[in-house]
Amino acid sequence: MNIFEKRPLCLILCIGLCGFLLFTFENQILKIATIAIAILLGILSLFLRKNKYKHIVAAFSAGAVLLGAIASFLYFDLYFKAYNLYEGEVEIVGTVEEVSESSSYSQRLLIQAESLNGSPSRYSFYAYPTKAEASGIIEGTRISFKANLDGFSNESYTFNLSDGINAYASDLSKITILEYTDGTPRMIFARVREYLTRYTINLSDGQTGAILSALLLGERDYLPPQLRLDFRRIGISHILALSGMHLAILSLGIEKALTFLQVKKKLRVGITAFFVLVYMALTGFSVSVVRAGVMLILSSVLYLLGRTKDSLTSLSVAVLVICIFTPYAIMDISLWLSALATFGIIAFSEYSSGGEKPKTKREAFIKYFVLAIMASVFAISATVAVSTICFGGFSILAPITTIIFSFLSEIIMYLGCVMMLIGWLIPIGWLVSPFCSLMTFLAGAFSSIEFAYVSASFDFVIIAVLIYTIAFYLFLVLKLKRQNPALLILLIMYTLTTFLPVAATVKQEYTETVAYCSDYKCDEMLIRSKNEVCLINSSQYSKNLAYTSLDFLEDANVTHLDKYYLTHYSWSLDDELEVLLYNISVDKIYIPEPRNDDEEAILKLVIKAVENHRTEIVVFRRYETIHIGDYTVNLLYSEPYGNTSMNAFAVAKGEVVYTYISSGMLTGKTLIDMGRYLPFTDYLILGDHGKKYKDKVYLDEYYPDLKSIILHSENVFLVQDNMKYYLDRECEIYSHPQDYIYFLGK
């Protein structure tokens, strides 16, 4: 359909933005490819001299790519990485924009620098002083101190980069409070947003206020974590994340209200544009809202100037404006999802424009519903590659749920605005509550459908998604003579692309698997049998290790846990569950019965941590057998809280036994206990979790039935004779391996 026809500016801007994005990555191959693209476009322009239009577009595109690459190099390589520019201790003066707790003994400060070593700088970074050092420091405090600037680890690099933060200050010293200020405009608007959030919640019940605060103000801290998970599982998490959709709904509402009041059109446009500016500031200049806001303001300006507006060109200009003022936003996934989804919807609106008007209301409704589904499919198609690669999951319900929940959100937002305006005078919060309750109920019902959310972390699924994405964008940019057959082929490809992850996930769910994962202080075993999935956790328990568990589950293509089996207690257990349940649904959590007052107290914290989730806590007796499909799990040994956290468990299917033993259990009394189980073990795992000993421990017994041994404990080794004994019997031995995932049997 050649969406860029008669839009040379839009095409040039899109090509330039792609060059800026490619050159932003650390990968040198992508940077070389960007320069090569610019050169090829320049050469192409020389061969197109006979066609003036194509020659100019190719030449300007080459220039746009080069400018994008140069801008990316100047910003990210020369300015943004300040920790490469300043070696050793740096004298810093700046304003604290955000204060949050980092740990039980430290605070995290987000600092906007004014100067580094006396040179002006607007660099943003994190600092982690102790709570004693941070005493008296609040948002808006202007401070000075000395510190070293260091880069983030690879795991958190992209996340911080997308927020404009690329370093953290370490070895802080000489912290001095210079003055207390009223704060930056960003902080002032944040306080206004916080006040409006409290006001909204006070006017309604907690759940209604939380949903309204998210939809109207972008404040999601009060949303129940289960609701967030449900929305993510049914493919509509963007509805709870403030975006262009919300701004469009509010702007349209203001436009209709002003029309009802008979305000002249040019004045209506001006008032709406002013509201957009205030709303962008009020919501913290979220990149998706800014993208939509710039589009609306640009359209308003073009209208006031008497020129025709073009949505696609406005979209590309909006993204360009964002990247000029906040270049790091190019790495923000929400910007790409927002911009690409809008691109898909605009493309479909142009494709479907025209046609015969429906003759009856029934035909009008059917046409509206079909067009809504197709618009949703186009939006999903434009973003499917980004979302699949970044999130590793796929919701098969997204086209339908997007329509249903967008409609509900519109009703809730309009009623919420009325409530905020007159709710202090007339208690009308009850009008909004039924719709919010309906939204919560439907989200839970859809989310509970088996295989509603499936894994997309299969290589062939990713390849299929990339092929479909290429075909989709070719459909948009090529001028095809027969568009309807091409669209039909695309829809068939979309159906197959949706079916592949569903089929792969269903097949995986019914494939028996026993897998072991080990990382620093974390030992886990995954069991899959007869459409039941269980994760057994033997670790220190913490928020950080919860992310290790999530990585393990993603690598194993798990999107839902039937059972989560815990081997012991820890004071950080509730923190681990908080992270885990925020990201994946779990039906039942199994935890041993408490044996002392500390474990009783921890169990109460665990119950409280899951009370807002559809998760059942099952307290089991020591040595009680738990069934997972054809497998059984037994806790062989576990120390009460307050002692060492050593533990052992056995997983069995018939006569095949998998035994896990944590570090330090092959000495003393525990060696005698474990000696009862080792002769009957087929797969032995000596994990790294638990009490550590300085002395080396050698597994010097001979167990002829062993088929596999994983020596992951730092202090357990095999003597040479034992090693030869097991190798002669074709027993697989993994001695202190680097990889952390092992599939033990299927």
Most distant CA pair in the chain, distance? 94
**80, 82, 85, 87: CA torsion to nearest 10:** -160
644's tokens: 């060492």
Phi/psi at 692 (5° precision): -105, 145
pLDDT, tens digit, 9 for 90 and up, residues 155-178:
455 556 777 887 888 888 888 998
- Strands 119-120 and 167-180, bridge-based pairing: unpaired
Mean of the per-residue pLDDT values for the chain?
Answer: 84
Fold match, 82-183 / 510-745: no
**Residue 267 CB-half CA count within 13 A:** 7
Average pLDDT score over residue span 3-32: 84
pTM of the model: 0.82
Stretch (H or E) spanning 446: helix 429-447
Give the pLDDT confidence score for residue 357 in this predicted structure. Answer: 77
Give the pLDDT confidence score for residue 746 in this predicted structure. Answer: 47
CB-CB neighbours of 490 under 10 Å: 18
- Taking the C-alpha atoms of residue 321 and residue 324, their distance in angstroms, rounded to an integer, is 5
Q: Looking at this protein, which amino acid is placed at residue 746?
A: K
- Taking the C-alpha atoms of residue 21 and residue 23, their distance in angstroms, rounded to an integer, is 6
| Residue pointed to by tokens 């095949």 | 656
Secondary structure E strands in 402-540: 453-455, 513-519, 522-529, 532-539
- Taking the C-alpha atoms of residue 152 and residue 168, their distance in angstroms, rounded to an integer, is 7
Q: Per CATH, is 82-183 categorized as 3.40.50.720?
A: no
381's tokens: 């198609």
Average pLDDT score over residue span 569-593: 91
pLDDT, tens digit, 9 for 90 and up, residues 516-555:
888 767 788 999 998 899 999 988 888 888 888 888 888 8
- Taking the C-alpha atoms of residue 289 and residue 281, their distance in angstroms, rounded to an integer, is 10
Sequence-ordered list of residues with C-beta below 8 angstroms from that of 61, at least 6 positions apart, any chain: 11, 12, 15, 16, 41
Q: DSSP letter at 587?
A: E
Residue 741 predicted with pLDDT over 70: no
Q: Looking at this protein, which amino acid is placed at residue 498?
A: T
Residue 620 predicted with pLDDT over 90: yes
pLDDT, tens digit, 9 for 90 and up, residues 441-475:
999 999 998 888 988 888 888 999 999 999 999 99
143-152, 156-165, 333-342, 538-547: least confident range: 156-165
**4, 8, 14, 20: CA torsion to nearest 10:** 160
CB-CB neighbours of 608 under 10 Å: 10
Residue 730: left (phi > 0), alpha (psi -120 to 50), or beta? left
pLDDT, tens digit, 9 for 90 and up, residues 292-302:
888 888 777 77
Q: Per CATH, is 510-745 categorized as 3.60.15.10?
A: yes
Instruction: Give the C-alpha distances (Å, rounded to integers) separating 13 from 18, 64, 299, 325, 477.
Output: 9, 7, 17, 16, 15
| Residue pointed to by tokens 């300040």 | 82
Sequence-ordered list of residues with C-beta below 8 angstroms from that of 616, at least 6 positions apart, any chain: 587, 588, 589
Break the chain into its structural domains and give their ranges.
8-80, 82-183, 510-745
Phi/psi at 35 (5° precision): -65, -40
pLDDT, tens digit, 9 for 90 and up, residues 226-267:
999 999 899 888 888 777 788 888 888 888 888 888 888 888
Q: Which long-range contacts (CB under 8 A, 24 or more apart) does 692-697 make?
A: 692/663, 692/664, 693/663, 693/664, 693/667, 697/666, 697/667
Assign 742 a pLDDT band (cuts: 50, 70, 90).
low
